[in-house]
Amino acid sequence: MRSRYAAFARKEVGYLWRTLHPEHEDRAEDERRVTDALRDAVARHKYMGLTILDRRAPDEAGIALVLFLARIFEKGQERSFVELSEFAHDGAGWRYLRGRLVPVRRVAGDPAALTIATFPGR
């Protein structure tokens, strides 16, 4: 997760593409279209920090969970969010499978206090 956040901050869209799990929905799309969209997104955002809040080892299906808080701004407006991400090993490494995010403004209380068990919508 940390490497993907760093890739967003460093605008390394090729790395972001390569670390998507083969079953991620964007993998059904054209690589150039996805990387162009990523390039547009990273150009608009300022990445201010990542905090890993909780994690779970792979379950019986091989899915590992990571809950994190991403501090992001766009033109001075806070776009920070908390995401519960799923990662799966593809034989070569851990890849991003999917995630559910909640904007910080919609989290009751301190978003940094969330755990996987208390993640909204879990």
Over the stretch 50-108, which tens digit does the pLDDT of each residue have? 999 999 999 999 999 999 999 999 999 999 999 999 999 999 999 999 999 999 999 99
In angstroms, the CA 98 to CA 90 distance is 14
pLDDT of residue 122: 66
Whether 118 has a pLDDT exceeding 80, the answer reads yes
**Residue 122 placed within a domain:** no
Q: How many domains does the chain have?
A: 1
The DSSP output letter for 110 is -
Give the domain range for residue 35: 2-113
- Asked whether residue 90 is domain-assigned, the answer is yes
Q: What global pTM score does this model have?
A: 0.93
Is residue 28 situated within a structural domain? yes
119 in a structural domain: no
In a domain, 118, yes or no: no
Establish if 121 belongs to a structural domain. Answer: no
Give the CATH number for residue 56.
Answer: 3.10.450.50
Where are the strands (E) in 37-93, listed by range? 46-56, 63-74, 77-78, 81-89
Examine residue 120 and state whether it is found in any structural domain, yes or no.
no
pLDDT exceeds 90 at position 43: yes
Cβ atoms 118, 42 nearer than 8 A: no
Using CA atoms, how far apart are residues 22 and 88, in angstroms rounded to an integer? 10
pLDDT digits (tens, 9 = 90+) for 10-37: 999 999 999 999 999 999 999 999 999 9
User: Quick check: is 29 in a domain?
Assistant: yes
Confidence of residue 1 (pLDDT cuts 50, 70, 90): confident
